[in-house]
Amino acid sequence: MAALSVDPPDIENLLKLNPKPPNGIAKLVPTRHTKTEKKHWKRNIGCEGSSCLKNDFDDIKHTTLSERGALREAARCLKCADAPCQKSCPTQLDIKQFISMIATKNYYGAAKAIFSDNPLGLTCGMVCPTSDLCVGGCNLYGSEEGPINIGGLQQFATEIFKLMNIPQVVDPSVVVDPADPSYRSSVALIGCGPASITCATFLARLGYTDLTIFEKEDYIGGLSSSEIPQYRLPYDVVSFEVNLMKQLGVKVQLGKPLSAKNGMTISSLKKDGNVVVFLGLGMPQPKSIPIFKDLSSTNGFYTSKDFLPVVAKASKPGMCACGGGSLPQLHGNVVVLGAGDTAFDCATSALRCGARRVFVAFRKGFTNVRAVPEEMDLAKEEQCEFLPFHSPAKVNLVGNSIKGMEFYRTYQNDNDEWVEDSEQTVKIKCNFIISAFGSGLTDSDITDALAPMKLNAWGLPKVDPVTMVTDVEGVYCGGDLAGVANTTVESVNDGKQAAWHIHQYIQSLGGVQVNPTPQLPGFYTPVDEVDVSINVCGLKFENPFGLASATPTTSSAMIRRAFKVGWAFALTKTYSLDKDVITNVSPRIVRGTTSGHVFGPGQGAFLNIELISEKTAAYWCRSVTELKRDFPNKIVIASIMCGFNKEDWTELSKMSESAGADALELNLSCPHGMGEKGMGLACGQNPDLVRNICRWVREAVKIPFFAKLTPNVTEIVDIAAAAQEGGADGCTATNTVSGLMGLRTNGSAWPSVGDARRTTYGGVSGNAIRPIALRAVTSIARAVPGFPILATGGIDSAEAGLQYLNGGASLLQVCSAIHNQDYTVIHDYVTGLKALLYMEAMGLPNWDGQSPPTAAHQRGKPTPSGLPAVKGLPHFGDYLTQRRNLLAQHKGVTPVHQPPSPAQQPQTPAHQPPNRVPKISDTIGRALPMIGTYGDLSNKQQVVAVINDDMCINCGKCFMTCNDSGYQAISFDEDTHIPHVTDDCTGCTLCLSVCPIIDCITMVPRPTPYYPLRGVPLTTPNEGLPLACQ
C-alpha cells in the first residue's frame, strides 16, 4: 500500500522545479556554461537594425504603463509639500494630486486634474521631455530608487479616460449673460496645433461660442500629427483631444491656409468680423544649407518637413482620408543631420522605412545635444550610430543618386566658438540624407499675410511673452511661431496664456474690468454633476465623507481648514468634562508593520496610544458655535466621553447641544487608556451599560446621536442593538482595534515611553482593519436594518468608501488616509465616488469601477492578437527573437496603413449613460443580500484557474503557492517557464491572489463536476458521488 504522506510520482515530477532549501554547499558552474545559459533567459535583448523594425509603428515608449505598473508607481510617489515637480511643468499641472488619485484608482479624477490645466494632457503624457521638466524636480532623485515616471502616469490616466468616452461640457458655474454680445465675439485661430487647440478650449470653457480654427492641411493636429511618429504619438490621441475641444462648440475648417495669394490674411480675417486672431501655425519651412540646393527625394534627400509627414500619413490610421499612401522606401545607409528631437524621430522612422543602418551626425558634442535623453536613448537602443563633431561639407552623387557625404570635423576654440577644421574630413557612404536642422518662417506668401505685423531679427512676430499679444491689436501668437516654446507642452501653455489675455481684451472692449488674477475654468464633464449628497437622521450631508474624531480634528482651526477644502462633516476630537481631562504621553502614533517595510506615505496601518482631546469642553463648545456660524451647510458632530454616570452624560450632552452641534457621537470604544478610567471601552463592551448611557443621552437632548462601537468585543451586533434600544439614532462602526504593533529584536516595543521604555496596547487603524470594520458594518446592517451606520476603518479611497456604502453604511469617516496625505484627499474621494456611480450607469462591459478590461500586454504594451504563430512563445531569449521575427514577417506583408481599430475610432458621439445614475441612498446595503452563512454557499458551482500565456511573465509564483499551500495543480515548464493548470485544480484561487499581473489568471466556471479527492475512501457512501471518488 502506497504511503499517504509521500507525494505520488506524478506530483514528484511536477515538483521538480519547486524551490529547494540551501544545503550549505557552494555551486560550481563553468563561466562558459553560464554565458550560454544566460542568453536563454535574457529579456533585455536589443533590436538588431531594421530587420525587426520595418513597418513596425507600435508603441516603443519606455514610460508606458499597465494598470499594475501605474498603481505601483503612483504608490511610490511621496506627494510632497509644495511639490517641485509641479513648479517645473509649463502648464503647472497638479502632479501630486493626479498621482494621488491614480494610487486610489480614481482615474477619472486624475484625468480631470490633468485636462483642467492641459487640454492636451494625453499628448503631453506621451511626448513631454519629462526628464528636463517635472521629473527633473522629483525629490526621489535624492533616493536610490530614482524619480517617479510622471509622464507614464499622466498617459495612463488620460488613456483610461479616453476609453470611458465621456464628453467635455462647459462648467455650469460659468454663467454668461445671453444678452452680452462679447461672448459671441468671433475669434479666428490659425493652425490646428497644440497652441490653437489649447487657446480655443480655454476660451470655450470661459463661455465664448464663436471660435473657429483654420488649418491648411486636410488633417488636424499640426506637428503633433505630421511630425511626431505613430510609435510615440498615435493619431487617435490627437483626434480624441480635438474632439474634446469640439464638444465645447469649437469649429475646425481644414484646407484653409494663411496665405496672401489665397486671400486669407490677418487683415481679411479682421475685416470679416473676427475680433481676435490667434496665430498658432508653427514654423512651416525647413532650414537648409547651400550644399543641398536642387536636391530632392528623387536624389535621396529629404528635409524633416518632407520626410516625417509622409511617414505619418502612411502609418497613422485615420489621419488621412486619402488612404495614407506608402512609406518612403529607404534602403542601405541613411544619414540624419541634426541633434534635436526631430532628428532622432527621423532616425528611428528611417529604420521603419527600410534603412539598414542610420547615422545621426551633428556639429557639436554629446554634451550639447538638444534632444531630450528619452529620444536619444530610443535611437541608441535601436542601434542608430552617432557622429558628433561633424559638419556637412559636401554631398556625393553618382548619377542622380546620393552615394555618400563628406564632413568637416568641428571643435570648440578658446573663445568657445564652434569652428570647422577643413583639414580634417570624414567620408560616409550613404544612400539617403535627411536634414533636421530646424525650421523657420521664410515663405513670403505667409509673411505677406501677416501684414501689418512687424517681424523681429529672426523673422518671427514680435510677441509679448506674458500676454502673447503681437504688435497688432487683437492679434495673438503662440507655439513655435512665438519664439519661446520648444516643446508641445510649452506650446500648450502659450495657448493657455493667450486665452486668458484674449478674454481680458475682449471684455475690455465692452468696458468690463476682468479680475487681474487669472481664473480659467477647469475640465468639466457630466460626471461632475452627479449628486453625492445624502440625508441621514434629518441632516443633509453634501457628500458622505467626513473627518473621524481623531488627530485630523485635533483643533477647531483644523476642522475649519478641512471644511474649506470640501469635507462635508467633521467630528470633534473626543472631549470630556474638566474633571476627566487627560495629558497624553509621547511618542504615541507610529507606523504599522502590516504591509511590510514601507517607509513614507502609503502606510497600511498606524498604531496610536493617544487618548482623547487635551482641550477642554469649553474650548470645544465655543468652537462648535463658531464653526456652525461660519459653515452653516457643514455638519458638526460633537464627540463626547464620560464614565458610567448619568449626571456626567447629561451635562456634557446638553452643553454640546446648546453649543449648536448638529449631532453627538458617544465615544464608548477608546481601546486604550480611557478604559482604565472607567470610560470608553469600559462602557462599550457591555450591552447593558451602552443601553443605559444611550437612554440618558436620549432623555437629555433632542438632536441625533450615534454610539461609537468597539470592535474589541465578541459580537458587535449585540452592542449595536443595545444602542438602538437605548434610543441612539445610529452608530459608528468601528473604533480602532486593540493591538501591539511589534517588538524589536532586543525585546523593546515601539512606541516606548520614558526612561523605562514601557508601552501598552494601542489602537490599530488604517486599511489593515478594513476587513474587521466591513464585517462589523455588514453584520450590524443585516441584524439591525434601518439603523444608520457611520463607517470608519481604512477608508482610503472612493472605492473603499463605496464598499462600506454597499455594506450598509450611510456615512464615511476618514482618519488614517489623512495621516498618509492631507485634507485635500477629499477631492479625490468625491470625484472618485461620482465617477464610480456614473460608470455604473454607463454599463460598459467588463469594467470594474474605473478599471477597464485588461488587454493582454507585456511591459505595459499590448501583445499582438490574431497571430497564432506567436501564441505560447515566452518573451525572453531565443523565444523573444523568434517572436520578433514572426511579427516582422507579418508586418512586412501587412499594409502599414490599416483601418483604425475599435480603440482608435473617432470618439464622437461620446457615451451617454443608458441607465439612471445611482444616488448614494441607492447603494446603501445593496451587497447585504449576497452576504450570509457558509451554508448558503453552493458547492456545486465550482471554478478553475486559467492562465493567459500572453500576459504571463514566467515568475512561477502561481506554481509555488499551489505546490506548498494548495493542491499541486499547476505544472511549470523548465524550458519556457510557462505554467499550466492541470485537471487537479480545485478553484481555491490562491494562484490568482499571488499573481503579480492583473488578470493574467482568471477564474472560470469548471466544465466538469467537482469530486474531492478524499485520500482514503469514505466509510459511509456519499450519495451522489461515484464510488471511485469516495
Catalytically active residues, by annotation: 670
CB neighbour class for 387 (10 Å; exposed up to 12, middle 13-18, buried from 19): middle
Q: Specify the DSSP class assigned to residue 1017.
A: -
Report the number of secondary-structure helices (H) and strands (E) in the chain.
Answer: 31, 35
Between CA 580 and CA 645 the distance in angstroms is 12
Q: With contact defined as beta carbons under 8 Å apart, do 58 and 366 qualify?
A: no
656, 661, 662, 664: CA torsion to nearest 10: -40
Using CA atoms, how far residue 843 sits from 36, 530, 556, 929, in Å, is 52, 16, 43, 21
Q: Give the single-character DSSP code of 63.
A: T
Question: What is the phi/psi pair of residue 972, to 5°?
Answer: -140, 110
Sign of CA dihedral 593, 597, 601, 604: negative
Give, as one character, the DSSP assignment of residue 384: -
Cα separation of 739 and 748, whole Å? 15
Q: What CA–CA distance (Å, rounded) separates 192 from 235?
A: 14
Cα–chain center distance at 517: 30
Task: List all residues 6 or more positions away from 845 whose beta carbon is below 8 Å from its beta carbon.
Answer: 853
Cα–Cα distance measured from residue 64 to residue 862, given in angstroms and rounded to the nearest whole number: 10
Beta strands in 899-968 (DSSP E): 943-947
402: its cell numbers: 546620393
* Alpha helix segments (H runs only) across 301-455: 304-315, 341-352, 373-381, 444-449
How far, CA to CA in Å, does 402 sit from each of 295, 326, 334, 481?
9, 21, 10, 33
Q: State the Cα–Cα distance between residues 712 and 580, nearest whole angstrom.
A: 23
How many CB atoms are closer than 10 A to CB 505?
A: 19
Q: What angle do CA 115, 118, 123 make, to 5 degrees?
A: 90
First to last CA, the chain: 18
The answer to whether the peptide bond before residue 734 is cis (omega within 30 degrees of 0) is yes
Contact 278, 196 (CB under 8 A): yes
From residue 952, give the alpha-carbon distance in Å to each of 87, 206, 946. Answer: 39, 48, 11
CA–CA distance from 57 to each of 52, 314, 863, 901 (Å)? Answer: 11, 10, 13, 14
- E strands, 264-400, where? 274-279, 285-286, 301-303, 333-337, 357-361, 385-387, 390-398
Closest CA to 365 of 351, 376, 378, 349: 376
Strand partners, 187: 211, 276
Rounded CA separation 836/715 (Å): 33
Q: If 0-12 CB within 10 Å is exposed, 13-18 middle and 19+ buried, where does residue 175 land?
A: exposed
State the number of CA atoms in the 13 A half-sphere of 507 facing the CB.
17
Residues whose CB falls within 8 Å of the CB of residue 857, separated by 6 or more in sequence, listed in order: 66, 863, 950, 951
